[in-house]
Amino acid sequence: MNKNSLKNISILVLIGSLIGLSACRKDDICTEPATPKLGVGFYDESQPDEKKAVAHLTLVALPVLDTLITDKTIDSIAIPLNVNADNCRFILQQDTNKDTLVFQYQIERVFVSKACGYKAIFHQLQVALVPDNNNWIKQIELLKNEILEDTIHLKILH
């Protein structure tokens, strides 16, 4: 190959690369936040405005027994709600003491962009603690019944 042929091929490759790069649009990359999670903060039963970490917390999604958190000492968590149903249940276990929370909500699917697709937002959130003889969760307080962004939505006093 002569120098002119190599030069022409190099120019064509450069032009092709520039055309390829200019074909990417901003909406081809997802920068929007995904479906928000339910934010849960743990607070001291005797001082409800003071956060209090839960020692040895394990979080399990029901009915599949999918363990999301294992044996952590933590003062807040983010729980992914089921986007394919209008309710879900979780076991929050402290050491060997298991408490079950039941969540009910309405789902709204919102189109974000071509790259991101849809996200779910949750409305009319309701939560119930399944009572047993030895609940480690003493009280639950719903701070926000709409889950539009990642923040604390639920306060658990223990």
At 142, the pLDDT band (50, 70, 90 cuts) reads very high
From CA 130, how far away is CA 107, in angstroms rounded?
Answer: 23
DSSP state of 27: G
How does residue 105 score in pLDDT terms, banded at 50, 70 and 90? very high
And the tokens for 143?
A: 């701070």
> Rounded CA gap, 91 and 86, in Å?
18
What is the pLDDT at residue 111? Answer: 92
- Shortest CA distance to 43 belongs to which of 139, 146, 142? 139
Please compute, for residue 28, the number of CA atoms within 13 A of its CA located in the half-sphere on the CB side: 5
Tell whether the torsion through CA atoms of 118, 125, 136 and 90 is positive or negative: negative
Question: Does residue 15 surpass a pLDDT of 80?
Answer: no
Q: Dump pLDDT digits (tens) for 18-51.
A: 455 455 555 578 887 789 999 999 999 999 999 9
